[in-house]
Structure 1
Amino acid sequence: MHRRWPAIIALWLLGVLAAAQLAKFSTIAPVLRARFALSLPATGLLISLLEVGGGLLGFVAGLALGRIGYRRALVTGLATLAGCSLVEALATTPAPLFVARGVEGIGYLLVVIAAPTAIAAIASDRDRPRALALWSSFVPVGVAIGGAVTGMGTQVLDATGLLLLWAALLALAVIPALRLPLGTAASRGLALPAPAAWIATFGFGLYTLFLCALTMLLPTFLTEMRGASLATAGLVAAFASLAALPGSAIAMALMRRGALRSGAMMRIVAPALAVTALLAPLVFVDIGGWGMAALVAVAVVGASGLVSPLVFARLPILARAAAADDPRIATANGLLTQFGAGGALIGPPLGGLVVGLWGWPGLGIAIAMLSLAMLATIALAERIGARPAL
């Protein structure tokens, strides 16, 4: 293994740990609802508050990273996550719980912008696309691990004990963050990415929008319309989320010799998103009970999941970064986080609105349209990115 890969994998693991906090509250939501007398909408807000920081401040954080530095941002982010988890564990009323969750989103934002930017800086030119493709898997892996650890932990710990456990794990993660061979690295100053990167990151926002609409509303559809049990529906949704992981592995294999050229990327992206658009409406057609709906949903996530790591890998190129520590990489990652978090926040309620207006088949058509819009957006980004710089 190349000597830089241990540091790359360590940074990816820090991202996985941060992403695990997304599933921390969703797993113990019934306990928190009972303890703090929360309504269902309030509980949903509590879960999603972790994404608010990215949705509001992602671009700003990307600009500021050049001043803060990778290591300081990572350590501050992890310490913030640990401290907020401690406050959440000790909270006796809803107010400090919500405030801590909101501040926790700032810590999450610092980690998920600093880590991929540091990965881009320390990876070799040949390894950078594969390293960023690996990074693209941190959310599904983190959500799966966060849900599994918290779920198994409920057998021996109450909600307070679980939150204290996460606080301890996050505090311990500060130690390897301090020891990573990053030197005093920071991106140099402030710079805006090229227009192609803005368009590509908007396309990524469309991806998180339809992906979260599908995976978050899938349990409700399976239980209410296909007769699945709550446990089965939850398991299907978790498996569907993890179906994006093979895409990262395939993308890494395709880029073993370096970044894909624009034409080669589009020859992969176009059929993947076309398949997504064709299959999405079939999730909500009664053609075989909940089992068939689950299989089609997994196929939809798997097909679209091949595109996300390619977007991550191409981002430094579309941003027109001139060097590994070019500040355009940090700001492009900030944009990616902002649009991605925005899509994750908007997706479930927008999907619910579509279902209310046009029924579940309408949601399938909406997901198909969004996947085609993503295809058009990526194609436009690649076309603009291919033009000579002025």
Structure 2
Amino acid sequence: MISKPRLLIAISLVLAAGVLTGAQLGKIAPLVGWYQADMGFSLVGVGWLTAVLAIFIAVAALPAGWLIDRLGLGATFRLSAAALAFGAIGLALAPAPAAVFAARIVEALGYLGLCIGLPAILNTVSPPAWRGPVLAIWSGFVPVGFALSDLLAGAMLPAYAPPAFLMVLALAFAVLAAAAIAALPRLPAQASGEGLGGFGASLSVPVVLVTLAFGMAVVQSVSAFAFLPAYVGGEGSHYLVSAGVVALTVPLGNVLASFLVAGRQAGYMAALCIVAFAVSGAAAVPAFASADPMLSTASAILFVVSGAVVASTLFAAIPYIVPAAGAAAVVIGLICQAGGLGTVIGPPVAGYVIENAGYPGLGWFILAVSLLGAAFSAALLALPQRAYRLA
């Protein structure tokens, strides 16, 4: 039996490895010019290089969740970490576009396994009272990872070549992943029944509603983040801070949600999602329509923080919605696939809205999406308590 201090260290290392996993998704953005000028990529090619990891999630997260349940969480962590580290090191050393894409695909395989396996591990090893807050913090691994890669790029690229930046991120992930694997207690070899039972037994009305709500949360957030830099650099130049500073407030929502959900049950979390969806949707309208510097900036920050509260709270609800005979990895895979599809669908639809209704139209589009998310959360709240399980 592992002591609570050692368990806290293990959980912290898993969370840190998750942040470095998210950093691998964001590390291409600071290197767009280098990949074009020195590596011979077109802008479209760089776009595909950036999107490969997200595409794997959008296409394969659900079947990956089932496979992870078959393999076991420990084996999944080891194999996925090895794939991500190997691919990341290969990316840093790749001499030509073909080798770069090959390394990125290996990275994507590891990224897919870690995005589903790590939260499933956190759900398994955390004591019941910790699960909600821990998963709420986990949900911020991508934006925090993006911020980390941006900060490291800003610190390194003026003095070091891009391959050195890529290698530092690769080795930092490898070290943290190895430390987390060593620190974790023994994990169960398999989480659920044989054959397809793990998949079928993992589906329920609460699971579907949380999945749909999470998809709406992702659509509204990526729709805003995809165009916020262009807006602040143009029509929204009256903002008091940069788009990057606005994005860096995401962890505030993750931490706030972790405090709000501590010791709470699923019904409270559903109600919190309704409120946070409503706040984020209402804030999106002045964020993209108001000409007042203070109002627009404050609204954008409120939108980001409340949106992070939504995503964190939905992840925190996972221990309560996994059916007793189901597998957390399968449920997380389904939720992640909804998020991946939202990542793929949201920006093109938002771009179409902007072309036809301008940036104010984007704010109203985000409000409509948030109302859908609130409706799914309200349906979750309306379910009887017996639809849930104790964490």
User: What TM-score do the two structures reach when normalised by structure 2?
Assistant: 0.89
Q: Select between 361-370 and 184-193 the one with higher mean Cα deviation.
A: 184-193
Q: Please name the residue that 2:260 is paired with.
A: 254
Give 1:211's aligned residue: 221
Deviation of the 1:300 alpha carbon: 0.7
What's the CA shift for 1:280? 0.9
- Aligned pairs for 1:84-103 within 5 A: 84-103=87-106
How far apart, CA to CA, are the structure 2 residues paired with 1:121 and 1:319?
Answer: 12
1:177 and 1:327 map into 2 onto residues whose CA distance is: 26
Deviation, 1:268, is 2.5
Query: For residue 2 of structure 1, what is the aligned residue in structure 2?
Result: 4
> 1:102-141 to 2 correspondence within 5 Å?
102-141=105-144
Q: Deviations over 1:334-369 (max 9, x none)?
A: 111111122122222221122122221111111110
- Residue by residue over 1:56-104, the C-alpha shift from the partner in whole angstroms, topping out at 9 and shown as x without a partner, is 1111111111221222211222221121122222333323322322332
Q: Could you tell me how far 1:184 is from its partner in structure 2? A: 4.1
The 3-state SS of whatever aligns with 1:330 is helix
Q: How many residues align?
A: 378
> Do residues 175 (structure 1) and 164 (structure 2) align?
no
What is residue 71 of structure 2 aligned with on the other side? 68
Contact 1:82 1:166 in 2 (8 A): no
Answering whether residue 276 of structure 2 is matched by residue 272 of structure 1, we say: yes
Match for residue 153 of structure 2? 150
3-state SS of 2:320 partner: helix
Which position in structure 2 is the counterpart of 1:200?
A: 210
Q: How many Å separate the matches in 2 of 1:385 and 1:90?
A: 55
> How far apart are residue 385 of structure 1 and its match?
6.3
> Are the aligned partners of 2:13 and 2:176 in contact in 1 as well (CA < 8 Å)?
no
User: Which is further off, 109-118 or 177-186?
Assistant: 177-186
Deviation at 1:206, TM superposition (A): 1.3
**Residue number in structure 1 paired with 2:232:** 222
Q: Distance in 2 between matches of 1:182 and 1:382?
A: 35
Contact 1:59–1:338 (CA<8 Å) still a contact in 2? Answer: yes
Q: By how many angstroms is 1:180 displaced?
A: 2.5
Q: Answer yes or no: is the 8 Å Cα contact 2:216–2:369 preserved in 1.
A: yes
| Structure 1: gaps spanning 5 or more residues | none
Aligned amino acid, residue 21 of structure 1: Q
| CA–CA distance in structure 2, aligned partners of residues 197 and 43 of structure 1 | 36
Per the alignment, residue 237 of structure 1 pairs with 243
Q: How much identity, in percent, do the aligned residues show?
A: 27
Q: Structure 1 stretch 293-302 or stretch 364-373: which is displaced more?
A: 293-302
Q: CA deviation at 1:197?
A: 0.7
Contact 1:316 / 1:328 at 8 angstroms: preserved in 2? no
User: What CA RMSD, in Å, does the superposition of the two structures yield over aligned residues?
Assistant: 2.3
Relative to structure 1, is the Cα distance of residues 201 and 242 closer, same or farther in structure 2, using a 3 angstrom cutoff? farther
In structure 1, the residue matched to 2:329 is: 330
For residue 367 of structure 2, what is the aligned residue in structure 1? 368
Structure 2 residue ranges without an equivalent (≥5): none
Tell me the alpha carbon deviations over residues 253-304 of structure 1, each in whole angstroms, 9 at most, x when there is no partner: 2333x23340x33442223222222221212224235x65333211111122
Normalised to the residue count of structure 1, the TM-score between the two structures is 0.89
Q: Distance in 1 between matches of 2:100 and 2:326?
A: 35
Q: Is the 8 A contact 2:272 2:313 kept in 1?
A: no
Measured in 1, the distance between the counterparts of 2:44 and 2:175 equals 33
Q: Secondary structure at the match of 1:213?
A: helix
SS in structure 2 opposite 1:111?
A: helix
Q: What letter is aligned with 2:341?
A: G
Q: In 2, Cα distance between the equivalents of 1:17 and 1:106?
A: 15
How many angstroms does 1:330 deviate by? Answer: 1.1
1:45 aligns with 2:48: yes
- Deviating more after overlay: 360-369 vs 237-246: 237-246
Alpha-carbon separation, structure 2, partners of 1:383 and 1:194: 15
**Equivalent position amino acid for 2:143 in 1:** P
Residue 339 of structure 1 is matched in structure 2 by 338
- Whether the aligned pair in 1 keeps the contact of 2:214 and 2:338 (CA below 8 Å) is yes
Contact kept? 1:7, 1:181, Cα under 8 Å: yes
Kindly provide the amino acid, as one letter, of the partner of residue 274 in structure 1: A
Partner in structure 2 of residue 288 of structure 1? 292
Question: Could you tell me whether the CA contact under 8 Å between 1:318 and 1:385 is conserved in 2?
Answer: no
Distance verdict in 2 for CA 1:79–1:385, change over 3 Å? farther
Deviation at 1:384, TM superposition (A): 4.0
Deviation at 1:121, TM superposition (A): 0.9
